[in-house]
């Protein structure tokens, strides 16, 4: 997390989950952000970034809504507290090697940073395959989609 008084940019910090199971990872995330947002009520994410997950879970006796959107910035997650305080975090893929993940987290938490998630990820040399990129590679290698 950026320290208090930092330059306000697109990101407030970063998160490197241990797995791709959002429902399993959300309670620890919510607990770690209690000082910044209070009791977490919602976690919003890009739908293409996570496998299908539950829409609600309970952590520490509180309901947390998990809300996926295609309209969100990829590679971010937004955590909203019950009093509407929010943080936007760079989402470092769980499979990212430790040294690279730590460099990404440091970049997202730099006090003067106004970089976007994409700028941080590409600036640190991380290539994240997207479904459309995978399809383009497949088609370039001779695959094709049958259109009828």
The SS3 assignment for 72 reads: coil
pLDDT band at residue 139 under the 50/70/90 scheme: very low
> Helix or strand or coil: residue 38?
coil
Residues 90-127 have pLDDT tens digits of 999 999 999 999 999 999 999 999 999 999 988 866 55
The sign one gets for the Cα dihedral 108, 114, 118, 120 is negative
C-alpha distances (whole Å) from 124 to each of 65, 99, 102, 116 are: 32, 11, 11, 12
Q: Could you tell me the pTM of the whole model? A: 0.81
Instruction: Count Cβ neighbours within 10 Å for each residue of 28-42 and write b for 16 or more, e otherwise.
Output: ebbeebeebbebbbb
Q: What is the pLDDT of residues 47-103, one digit of tens each?
A: 988 888 899 999 989 999 999 999 999 899 999 998 899 999 999 999 999 999 999
Q: Which residue has the tokens 């998160």?
A: 15
């Amino acid at each position: 997390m950026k320290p208090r008084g930092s330059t306000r940019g697109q990101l407030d910090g970063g998160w490197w989950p241990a797995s791709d199971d959002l429902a399993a990872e959300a309670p620890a995330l919510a607990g770690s952000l209690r000082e910044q947002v209070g009791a977490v009520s919602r976690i919003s994410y890009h739908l293409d970034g996570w496998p299908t997950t539950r829409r609600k879970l309970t952590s520490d006796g509180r309901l947390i809504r998990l809300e996926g959107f295609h309209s969100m910035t990829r590679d971010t997650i937004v955590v909203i507290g019950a009093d509407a305080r929010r943080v936007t975090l760079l989402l470092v893929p769980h499979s990212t090697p430790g040294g690279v993940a730590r460099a990404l987290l440091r970049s997202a938490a730099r006090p003067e940073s106004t970089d976007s998630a994409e700028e941080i990820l590409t600036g640190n040399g991380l290539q994240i395959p997207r479904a459309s990129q995978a399809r383009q590679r497949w088609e370039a290698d001779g695959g094709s989609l049958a259109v009828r």
